[in-house]
């Protein structure tokens, strides 16, 4: 729970965290090494006092996560978004069993999302049913650029992806978190846009599509799609980390999102352990839109808007009652937003 300078309590749900193993022991090949290298370079846009040594970054443990995210990081609840990456890591980069084990120890704190890959065919559909039951899945993280045999990526409009989306509805999954970077291959021109999210969102109006990293590197295309589809949401992970080195620029991104999507469809995420949620949340809660940006956004980053982004929007998607959850976690009650006197 974050407390503002004026004493307001803000409940925080971090919609994007991980407990990964990128260590050399788990790396399958050079790709595994390069993948964690790339993350480590992203990590370096943190404030210096938050830098981790490489070994810790490659593999940290449950205690690190609990301390960083919940004790030091102001976060009240968090959602695991696992990236399996089976072609790069022997036991997966993100691992559902490991996530679930920690979730079982802290069921009021953690939600463990699953994942699926349409290229696993019929067997994967059976696995999805099992996972949904065993892990009580309400959401999945899809990594469309993941490699699989000769394939270097897939699209949500692929026929098999459609079957997995149907199955998701059937087993009670509501939230599809899509990491929609450009797939590396196939290299057709449509691998570059986020149009497949558009297709999927129209075909499955009962599912919510949270486009992680706000569609990076296609923010403009993403905003355009989000205006067409009411069930498309913006996940702030990665974008939020720019707040430290590029504060004004991050404010411009928020301007775009507020203008195109409004304040009800933006979800906070830190992408822990690439970045520690503490500094991101401190700086975000401190951020205001300058006059020019506020007029362009047709909105402001008021406390009410921040409450939505930090928790309320995500709570709605995951059926979390913030008041009940606060009581369960022994947190002080959150006052209703004070109206203008």
Partner 1 sequence: MNQADQLEQVRAALDTVTDPEIDESVTTLEFVSSVKVSDDNDVSIEFRLPTYWCAPNFAFLMASDMRDAVAELSWVNSVSVRLLDHFSAEMISRSVALKQEFRDAFPGETDDDLKLIRQKFLGKAFERRQELLMRHLLGTGQKSEEITELRMGELMEFSLDPEGARLRTLYRFAWRRLRPGWDDGKLAFVALDGTPLDPTKLSGYLRKLAGVRRNAEFNAVICRSLLAERKAELSTVAC
Q: What's the closest the beta carbon of residue 25 comes to partner 1, in angstroms?
A: 20
Q: Which is nearer to partner 1, 191 or 281 (CB)?
A: 191
Q: Which is nearer to partner 1, 112 or 145 (CB)?
A: 145
Q: Nearest 5°: CA angle at 230, between 307 and 251?
A: 45
Q: What's the closest the beta carbon of residue 38 comes to partner 1, in angstroms?
A: 5
Q: What's the closest the beta carbon of residue 308 comes to partner 1, in angstroms?
A: 22
Q: What's the closest the beta carbon of residue 226 comes to partner 1, in angstroms?
A: 11
Q: Is 114:89 a contact under the CB 8 Å cutoff? A: no
Q: Any residues with CB less than 8 A from the CB of 269 and at least 6 apart, and which?
A: 14, 15, 16, 17, 81, 212, 235, 236, 237, 240
Q: What's the closest the beta carbon of residue 278 comes to partner 1, in angstroms?
A: 20
Q: Which is nearer to partner 1, 90 or 247 (CB)?
A: 247
Distance CA 199, CA 289 (A): 33
Q: Phi and psi (nearest 5°) for 70? A: -95, -35
Q: Smallest Cα–Cα separation from 72: which of 206, 234, 223, 272? A: 272
Q: Which is nearer to partner 1, 6 or 188 (CB)?
A: 188
Q: Is 73:272 a contact under the CB 8 Å cutoff? A: yes
Q: Which is nearer to partner 1, 202 or 245 (CB)?
A: 245
Which residues here bind partner 1, judged by CB under 8 A?
31, 34-35, 37-38, 40-42, 44-45, 152, 182, 184-189, 192, 216-221, 223-224, 239, 242, 245-246, 249, 252-253, 256, 259-260, 296
Which pair of tokens denotes residue 127?
A: 């696995």
């Amino acid at each position: 729970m974050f407390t503002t300078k004026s004493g307001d309590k803000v409940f925080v749900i971090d919609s994007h965290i991980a407990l990964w193993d990128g260590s050399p022991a788990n790396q399958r090949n050079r790709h595994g090494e390069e993948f964690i290298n790339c993350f480590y370079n992203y990590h370096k846009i943190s404030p210096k006092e938050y830098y981790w040594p490489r070994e810790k970054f490659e593999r940290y443990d449950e205690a690190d996560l609990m301390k960083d995210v919940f004790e030091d990081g102001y976060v009240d609840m968090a959602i695991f978004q696992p990236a399996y990456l089976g072609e790069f890591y022997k036991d997966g980069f993100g691992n559902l069993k490991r996530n679930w084990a920690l979730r079982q120890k802290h069921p009021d704190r953690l939600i463990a999302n699953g994942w699926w890959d349409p290229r696993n065919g019929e067997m994967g559909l059976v696995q999805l049913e099992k996972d949904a039951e065993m892990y009580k899945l309400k959401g999945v993280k899809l990594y469309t650029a993941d490699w699989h045999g000769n394939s270097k990526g897939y699209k949500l409009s692929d026929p098999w992806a459609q079957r997995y989306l149907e199955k998701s509805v059937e087993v009670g999954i509501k939230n599809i978190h899509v990491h929609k970077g450009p797939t590396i291959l196939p290299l057709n021109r449509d691998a570059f846009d986020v149009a497949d999210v558009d297709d999927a969102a129209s075909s499955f109006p009962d599912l919510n599509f949270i486009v992680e990293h706000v569609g990076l590197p296609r923010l403009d295309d993403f905003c355009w799609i989000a205006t067409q589809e009411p069930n498309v949401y913006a996940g702030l992970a990665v974008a939020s980390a720019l707040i430290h080195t590029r504060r004004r620029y991050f404010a411009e991104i928020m301007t775009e999102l507020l203008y195109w999507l409004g304040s009800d469809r933006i979800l906070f995420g830190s992408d822990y352990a690439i970045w520690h949620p503490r500094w991101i949340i401190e700086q975000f809660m401190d951020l205001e839109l300058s006059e020019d940006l506020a007029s362009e956004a047709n909105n402001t980053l008021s406390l009410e808007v921040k409450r939505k982004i930090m928790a309320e929007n995500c709570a709605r998607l995951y059926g979390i009652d913030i008041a009940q959850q606060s009581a369960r976690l022994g947190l002080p009650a959150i006052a209703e937003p004070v109206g203008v006197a």
